[in-house]
Every structure is written in C-alpha cells, then in structure tokens.
Amino acid sequence: MTADILILSNGPGEVTTWVRPVVKALRQILSDDRNQIRISVILSPCPNSSGKEADIARSFPEVDRVQPAEHFWQFLLWGKTFENWDWRKCGVVVFLGGDQFFPVVVGKRLGYRTVVYAEWDARWHNLIDRFGVMKPEVAARVPQKFAHKFSVVGDLMQEAQVGEEINSKFKIQNSKLGVSSSSPSLPHSLPPSLPPSSPSSSPLSTELIGVLPGSKAAKLTQGVPLTLAIAEYVHARRPQTKFVIPVAPTLDLQTLASFADQEKNSFVQTFGFSGASLIVADDSGRGTALPYPYDRPILKTATGLCVELWTQSPAHDLLSQCSLCLTTVGANTAELGALAVPMIVLLPTQQLDAMRSWDGLPGLLANLPLVGSGFAKLINWLVLRRKGLLAWPNIWAQEMVVPELVGKLQSQEVGEMVLDFLNHPEKLAQIQAKLRSIRGEAGAAQKLATLVKEELSNYTEVGK
C-alpha cells in the first residue's frame, strides 16, 4: 500500500524534539521506500518561531516535503499547498505541535486518519481517531466512551537524549573541556589544565554550566550580557567551573556575539558587564588561533573567561552533562526538564517590552506591528504581578521545582545562588530527582509510530 504521512507542527522546539525522533521512528516501522511511504511536514504559525523551522525540517533525511508556516492558512482554508502538492488516497495526519483543531480540518479535507500527540491536554475526542498521550493522567480526564482512542506513549522529549554519533563526538569534546562524560552529576573529573591536588589540599573538580540566553533578539538583548556577567562572577570565585552556550540552530555566531558587544547592545553596561568578543579559528592557519583546550568558537570576556559555543544540534548529550543551567523562560525549560537538568530560570525586566515570546494569543498580540510593544508591556506587567510557575517544569508540577528569578536581576545575586548550588550538590540532586519524576517514560516515538501504522492498517480492513 502506498500512503502519505502528513505531520503538522509549528515551533522550533517541536520540530527539533518531536518531529525529528518521530520521522526516524516512522521510517523504521513503516518503510524507507519513498514510493511506498511519503512523509510531508506542514508548519503552522508560532509566536516563538525563528523563521528557520522549515530549513531544520528539510534537513531531516526521512522527510520528503516541507511547507513553511507562511503558507499555512492558505492550506488550511482552501486545501492547496504553495507548491500544489499531490496527495495519495491513503494517509495519516500526525499532530506534533500547533492547535489540535488543525488535524481535524486537514484530516477531513484529505480523507485521512488522524493521530494526535498530547502532552497535557487532549481535545476534539469525537473527531480525532487516535491519541498518543505522555502520561496516564491525560487519558484519565477523558469521557469513558472515548477511552479506546487513547494510548500512553510516554515523553517525546526523552527521545533525542541518546545517539551514538552525537555521544562519540561529545566524549571527544569532553576530553577537551575536561569534563567527565560518565555521569551528569557532580563531581566531574579534573581538566587537563589543572594539576592534581596535593594530599593536603581539597581536590578541584571541574563542573560544567550551560548558558541558554534564548534564540531571538527580544531575549538575547538582556540574556547574553546578564548570563555572561554571572559566568564571570562565578568563575572568579570558582575557577574550576566551565561554561558553554548550546547555540540555537536558528542563530548564527556573529549575531549572538553582537549582543555581548557594548557598542551594539546598550544593555551590556546595564548588567555591569564589560563585553565579550567572538573568537573563531582560522582554517588557513594564518589567523586567530583558539586558546587551549578549545577547538570550537568561543566568546572571550574582558576578564579572560572563555565560554565555548556549541553549534551541534540537538545538544542533549551536552546538556545532560551540565551540573546546572542558566536559562530564560520558554522551550529551553521544557527541554532541560525532560533531560532532568537542574536550572535557574531568569526573567530580567530591565526592558519590560522585550519578552514577546509567550504562547497563544498573548504572543500574537505582543508581536503585532506598531502596537505590539504596548501589548508586550501590559502582558509582562500582568505576568510580573502574578509571578511564579513560568518555567515548564514548574507548570507541569504546579509547584516551584526550579527557581525562577524575576525582576531587575544583577549578576551578583544570581551568581551567589549558583555558587550555593555548586557548593551543595545535594540540592542539585534533589531538583534532578524531582524533574525525573515529572515527565513520562521514554520510547514515545516508536509507540507513536506504531499508532500511525495501526491507523494505516484500517484502510486495508475497510477496503479503502
């Protein structure tokens, strides 16, 4: 049987952490023969979008066709893609991000079966054929007459944690960073640059801190100088600590570095930061040489601190080795939560209209031309009044699992919190254990792909 698999998705987090493992699983369970199974991805608008989601989806070898978000409404309303794609008689619409009503419309229009992945809430029970849910609690809230449609598949965000190719590269990089790859918890092994401790001194163990300031200008303007200033503060008091920025695939290094340049970003001085410069090795051998032990680009601050820029994506193996991460609100917190990596969530408010990446209607209003800045200030003011439960792990647990720091943040106060965590690894272990208890089990991509296979089999059973 020949069939089309149409995946509906939206934001950068969904494309990298949901679509990627699912399309791999679909090829493994169904067929790698494109004449038999064709996989298409259609993106819908998302307030967190970087505009490069289509390029990321096209980079997946399992995917045959991709339509960017700007053409979505035309497809939803009229059923025509921008390139006028053809559709096979049999197929399944797989929902991996966006509005759960979209697969209802698209499935009816194409005459395809529908499979929805639902993390926390499932809608349109009577109009969707199958649901793959993250945890049993989601299915428990559904009326009994629809219970047969629900299967617990687990947590899709767990899927990309393990990969032999990434892991082997990561072990090589760890040897240069001086970080042990055997355990995500403290303590880590000695870096090559540090001599062994004498018997009379306490050993210095290298620890790695991940810095995730965001991927869009609204967050990077404050996030880059604040997090780098925090890194300087911590490193001055704890020199065995190393820092790394997993660079978002939608962000180029020069743009990232511009937010650490006080001539291009006025907020650099606001956070008491002196700036940083980008250093990239010259392949010709005649130009800039990276300082040992780095062989990847770095941001070097005025105090001499080198923060490595990790451009391999996804960076799950790297993040899993971090003792702690500094992150802004958004999809990063969901990713770190799924990896059970302790984090401090930062929401500086020196620029009240900077945060425009909220989900749903608030995000759309905050990004409107001309009036968006006013909406952003109002929305963020309301959020600040409410406070609490802004990070995804805290929303999932409905309690403050990871600390959220909101306000006119400064590097010293956040740095002291970081130092307290590093000096008391048992606190980090408690957060890690709680994060692990929140999310669902792994193996979700294979189970979801199995649901798609079962729905395809329905065509044969009914003679369609």
Better-predicted residue by pLDDT, 457 or 187:
457
Q: Quote the percentage of the chain above a pLDDT of 90.
A: 50
pLDDT recorded at residue 258? 94
Better-predicted residue by pLDDT, 362 or 60:
60
Computed over every residue of the chain, the mean pLDDT equals 81
State yes or no: pLDDT of 355 exceeds 80.
Answer: no
Give the C-alpha separation, 303 to 230, whole Å: 12
pLDDT recorded at residue 129? 95
Better-predicted residue by pLDDT, 436 or 127:
127
- DSSP string covering 121-158: ----TTT-SEEEESSHHHHHTS-GGGGGGEEE---GGG
Residues 103 and 190 in one domain: no
pLDDT recorded at residue 313? 74
Residue 197: which pLDDT band, with cuts at 50, 70 and 90? very low
Residues 149 and 201 in one domain: no
State yes or no: pLDDT of 195 exceeds 70.
Answer: no
| Ranges of H-type helices in 186-250 | 217-237
143-147, 176-180, 200-204, 420-424 — which one is most confidently predicted on average?
Answer: 420-424
pLDDT tens column, 234-263:
999 999 999 999 998 778 899 999 999 988
**Residue 50 · residue 11 · CB < 8 Å:** no
What residues contact residue 284 under an 8 Å CB cut-off, 6+ apart?
A: none
Residues 175 and 119 in one domain: no
pLDDT recorded at residue 381? 59
Mean pLDDT for the stretch of residues 10-18: 84
Residues 226 and 240 in one domain: yes
129-133, 165-169, 180-184, 457-461 — which one is most confidently predicted on average?
Answer: 129-133
Give the C-alpha separation, 231 to 223, whole Å: 12
CATH number at 121 reads 3.40.50.2000
pLDDT recorded at residue 188? 32
Residues 146 and 225 in one domain: no
Classify 446 as helix, strand or coil: helix
pLDDT recorded at residue 315? 83
SS3 content of the chain, % helix, strand, coil (to 5): 40, 15, 40
Residues 141 and 222 in one domain: no
Residues 271 and 144 in one domain: no
pLDDT recorded at residue 396? 78
Characterize the bridge pairing of strands 404-407 and 343-348: parallel
Mean pLDDT for the stretch of residues 59-75: 95
Residues 27 and 118 in one domain: yes
CA distances, 158 to each of 21, 214, 357, 445 (Å) = 10, 21, 24, 9
Residues 185 and 144 in one domain: no
State yes or no: pLDDT of 13 exceeds 80.
Answer: no
State yes or no: pLDDT of 377 exceeds 70.
Answer: no
Residue 206: which pLDDT band, with cuts at 50, 70 and 90? confident
State yes or no: pLDDT of 104 exceeds 70.
Answer: yes
**CA-wise closest residue to 455 among 90, 89, 64:** 90
pTM, two decimals, is 0.65
Residues 127 and 218 in one domain: no
Residues 233 and 353 in one domain: yes
State yes or no: pLDDT of 173 exceeds 70.
Answer: no
pLDDT recorded at residue 332? 85
- Looking at the structure of the chain, the number of domains it has is 2
Q: Quote the percentage of the chain above a pLDDT of 70.
A: 76
Residues 361 and 299 in one domain: yes
Residue 427: which pLDDT band, with cuts at 50, 70 and 90? very high
pLDDT tens column, 116-171:
999 888 999 999 999 999 888 888 888 889 999 999 998 887 765 544 333 434 34
Task: Give the structural domain span for 368.
Answer: 164-438
Better-predicted residue by pLDDT, 81 or 272:
81
**CA-wise closest residue to 75 among 110, 112, 117:** 110
At 277, give phi and psi (nearest 5°). Answer: -120, 150
Name 326's bridge partners. 211, 344
pLDDT tens column, 263-320:
898 888 888 898 999 998 765 554 566 776 667 899 999 999 999 999 887 788 899 8
Better-predicted residue by pLDDT, 199 or 171:
171
Tokens at residue 453, please? 């296979």
Mean pLDDT for the stretch of residues 220-234: 94
State yes or no: pLDDT of 446 exceeds 60.
Answer: yes
Cβ burial of 458 (10 Å; 0-12, 13-18, 19+) is: middle
